[in-house]
Amino acid sequence: MDALVLSFAVIFVAELGDKSQLMAMTFATRYKLWTVLAGISAATAVVHLASVAIGVLVGVRLPTTLINALAGLAFIAFGVWTLRGDTLTEAEKEKAARMNRSAFLAVAVAFFLAELGDKTMLATVTLATNNGWFGTWIGSTVGMVAADALAIAVGAMLGRHLPEKAIKIGASVLFFAFGLWLLGEALIG
């Protein structure tokens, strides 16, 4: 249960202001809300299951102190990455607009490819190194889908983006806090 709650919180925060939210809003203007959410959910479940598998394999082979130090540094890097920002390129916008065949498949494939190597995938790998795999998988998947659903809902209701600067700063502060906490655990041993 701890892994689920922690993973949900970390990935929800990581997803705020991410290009995936921009993709979700873009797809939601073209396809039905439930189709977009189903595609996001399917892609996220697959990517995060692979991330958890990688994290578990890495975690089994590394000592806990080293894992905490690496995880702490990774979360600090995620904080910097979040402050730097993520944007949806023109090519990604055009790709989302061109997809006409199966809306579900279009959304799922686009999200799967967009999430490979993304900070949420790397955060999930990091979380899975020393937390339960199942809770990490479910928590990270639900956290990402919830953040993207929030972006779609807010975008639809307000007709504009959330204040990007405030989201970046808030998410970065949380990443820095998680990173420092994990580095502190590594130093204490």
Q: Give per-residue pLDDT as tens, 14-59.
A: 887 777 777 787 777 667 888 889 999 999 999 999 989 988 887 7
What's residue 100's pLDDT?
47
Domain borders along the chain are 2-188
* Averaged pLDDT of the chain: 78
Mean pLDDT across 172-184: 78
| Lowest mean pLDDT, pick from 96-100, 119-123, 152-156, 172-176 | 96-100
Residue with tokens 């910097």: 80
Please give the residue that has the higher pLDDT: either 143 or 27: 143
Distance CA 83, CA 23 (A): 19
In the three-class reduction of DSSP (H, G, I as helix; E, B as strand; rest coil), residue 181 is classed as helix
Q: What is 74-108 written as a DSSP string?
A: HHHHHHHHHHH-----HHHHHHHHH--S-HHHHHH
* HSE, side-chain direction, 13 A CA sphere, residue 172: 15
Question: pLDDT tens for residues 110-121?
Answer: 888 778 777 788
